[in-house]
Structure 1
Amino acid sequence: MNFMLKQIIRTRIMQLTPGELIRHAHAYNIDLSLNQANQIINVLRESDLDPFSKADLNKLFDRLEQITDASTAEKGREILTQFVKQYGVADWFE
């Protein structure tokens, strides 16, 4: 994937709001509270990990689990998985 597209996606991730995350969760039939959405957003924003690296994504979700709980981390992982499948970009996430 080209660098420009990766930058656009990284920027969009940093601008994601809790309300948008909740809407995505509900679209995938995932029950996500406002508190959980805020926790996920905070971890995303304070992280400098590469969202296109599986190793970095695993670190991100491990960090989320440490700060919150296993349920919130799993919901975050499931939202990302469903989003990637929906747009057919699984190969972008090595």
Structure 2
Amino acid sequence: MKNVAQQFITQKLKQLTVNELLFYSKKYRISISEQEAAAIVKALKKNKENPFDPEGRKRMLKKLASITSKDTARAVNQLLMKIAKEYGVEDWLK
């Protein structure tokens, strides 16, 4: 069941919209501009890394940092962790 849920979440990341990302960033008080959100969404659509694998997530965040900034990549990681915690799956990201 965990694998199915992880596949679902990974697919959702690939389908994330700029408005959804901005909604979550406001909800969790994480500063992401509209331009950064657009770049992040574009990168997530192309992402082939597994966000549940620590090394895969690290590579994904490095790519985001190269597209936006280190601060934005850190913000995305914080956002991912807070959303995972909200849904009770934070241990999947360790």
Tell me by how many angstroms 1:36 deviates: 0.8
Give how far 1:23 is off.
0.4
Give the structure-2-normalised TM-score: 0.89
Cα RMSD, aligned residues only: 1.3
Amino acid at match of 1:74: R
User: Once the 2 structures are TM-superposed, how far is the Cα of residue 73 of structure 1 from its aligned partner?
Assistant: 1.0
Could you tell me the percent identity over the aligned residues? 30
* 1:37 paired residue number: 37
- The count of aligned residue pairs is 94
Match of 2:70 in 1: 70
Unaligned runs of 5+ in 1: none
1:10 pairs with 2:10: yes
SS in 1 for 2:26: helix
Q: Which runs of 4+ in 1 moved over 6 A?
A: none
| Unpaired stretches in structure 2, ≥5 consecutive residues | none
1:47 is matched with 47
In structure 1, give the amino acid aligned to 2:66.
Q
